[in-house]
């Protein structure tokens, strides 16, 4: 995996993000003091889970030559009592029978981002002079 690097952008809170040759922006919405110049860090986290789920479903169905035409995945993150709750909804589009649909729903939980989020996470932080 390529390293992700961020640094201050030009606004109050926006961050310039570089991942290889890709450049993104993260910010917070105006109601929280940002300029809404890009998705928030939590929205990128939700996007990571949603896109990884879709990729995993597409890859699995493709290997099985199943008739999955699309997987529409939405993720919302809320926080209550110090608990982050990810609500993921999946719409499977295509010619799938009940058994295939059930298997794909099981496979959704096997996407690498899902596995990372439900597993034990360690964050090692170092100050570079």
- Return the closest-CA partner of residue 75 out of 45, 46, 55, 108: 46
Give the H or E element holding residue 49: helix 41-64
The residue whose two tokens read 């990810």 is: 86
- Return the closest-CA partner of residue 57 out of 91, 87, 86: 91
Which pLDDT value is given to residue 123? 95
Q: Is domain 41-118 classified as CATH 3.30.300.20?
A: yes
Question: Could you tell me the mean pLDDT of each successive run of 10 residues in the chain, 129 residues long?
Answer: 95 96 96 95 97 98 98 96 96 98 98 96 95
Which pLDDT value is given to residue 24? 97
Which pLDDT value is given to residue 16? 97
- Asked whether the beta carbons of 73 and 45 are under 8 A apart, the reply is no
Which pLDDT value is given to residue 63? 98
The residue whose two tokens read 């889970």 is: 49
* Core vs surface per residue 48-79: b (16+ CB within 10 A) or e: bbbebbbebbeebbeeeebebeebebebeeee
Which pLDDT value is given to residue 89? 98
State percent of the chain over pLDDT 70.
100
């Amino acid at each position: 995996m390529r390293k992700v690097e961020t640094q201050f952008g030009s606004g109050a809170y926006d961050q310039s993000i570089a991942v290889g040759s890709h450049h993104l922006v993260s910010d917070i919405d105006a109601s929280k003091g940002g300029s809404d110049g890009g998705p928030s860090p939590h929205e990128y986290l939700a996007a990571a889970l949603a896109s990884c789920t879709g990729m995993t479903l597409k890859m699995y169905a493709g290997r099985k030559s199943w008739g999955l035409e699309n997987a529409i995945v939405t993720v919302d993150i809320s926080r209550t009592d110090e608990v982050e709750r990810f609500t993921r909804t999946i719409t499977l589009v295509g010619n799938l029978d009940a058994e295939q649909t059930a298997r794909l729903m099981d496979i959704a939980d096997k996407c690498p981002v899902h596995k990372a989020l439900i597993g034990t996470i360690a964050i090692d932080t170092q100050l570079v002079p």
